[in-house]
Structure 1
């Protein structure tokens, strides 16, 4: 073997006696970081507020109000996803939104409802849930290439 060649790896390489480590859980299986818990609570409260406001707006101004309410809901879910960088960031405001909307569905004993029309209610519920699922299941967020030192970027 010449001095310029590196020795090849072989099965006779030294082994360590360290036990194999199990992989760290990722995604929804990973425990939330303690610093993010107040952020998640805030997102849940904000989701409940957007759900309540959306219920009132979509019933008052049917075609435009419904679109405005769905856009606000989708913006909150996507914003939570981008802010935290996790799927949980989109699911937590969606849970707050869903709980507030379901509570508003109950109505009062007198028979009053917050929602005006049945079609508006169905579109608001289905559209909001679809937006939550899309934001929670989207692929990893793209990271900007600025400052990476890669040529051509």
Structure 2
């Protein structure tokens, strides 16, 4: 009888682990898109209510969404997905209705909110990638 070679350890299947990670990432992105629409809508309503403080509050919420999206997902895609949701809400609210009703009246505060939010999104997107923790 010759000695048996040692059994090779079997590695866990990689597709199952990557599927969970992929599904979780898709759920994060969908949640960030919905959160972007909500933050954009709330910011559009708040920024004109108390002009200097409402605008600052709306821009802080926008910055929190974008930076939080980057921290939650670890990539710049998290910022972009939240930014797309925010931009869709702001653009749809700025179009108004045929009767003339609209959320944005066309003042300086609305322009600062729109361009400030886009500038914050670009700043958060161009931040360096987060370092991965070592195991």
Range class of TM-score, shorter chain: 0.7 to 0.9
Aligned residues: 114
TM-score by length of 1: 0.70
For the Cα contact (< 8 Å) 1:59–1:114, is it kept in 2? no
Partner of 2:36 in structure 1? Answer: 47
Q: Distance in 2 between matches of 1:141 and 1:123?
A: 29
Q: Distance in 1 between matches of 2:132 and 2:96?
A: 45
How large is the Cα RMSD of the aligned pairs? 1.7
Structure 2 runs not aligned, ≥5 long = 1-20
2:114 is matched with which residue: 125, 137, 140?
125
Partner of 1:85 in structure 2? Answer: 74
Higher share in helix: 2
Matches within 5 A, 1:42-121: 42-121=31-110
For the Cα contact (< 8 Å) 1:90–1:136, is it kept in 2? yes
Q: Distance in 2 between matches of 1:117 and 1:59?
A: 11
Q: Distance in 1 between matches of 2:76 and 2:127?
A: 8
Q: Distance in 2 between matches of 1:140 and 1:37?
A: 19
TM-score by length of 2: 0.79
Larger radius of gyration: 1
Partner of 2:123 in structure 1? Answer: 134
- The structure whose RCO (Cα within 8 Å, separation 6+) is larger is 2
Cα offset, 1:91, TM superposition: 0.8
For the Cα contact (< 8 Å) 1:90–1:135, is it kept in 2? yes
For residues 61-93 of structure 1, the C-alpha deviation after alignment (integer angstroms, 9 at most, x for no partner) is 111000000000001100000011001011100
1:37 is matched with which residue: 7, 21, 26?
26
| SS, match of residue 89 in structure 2 | helix
Cα offset, 1:33, TM superposition: 2.8
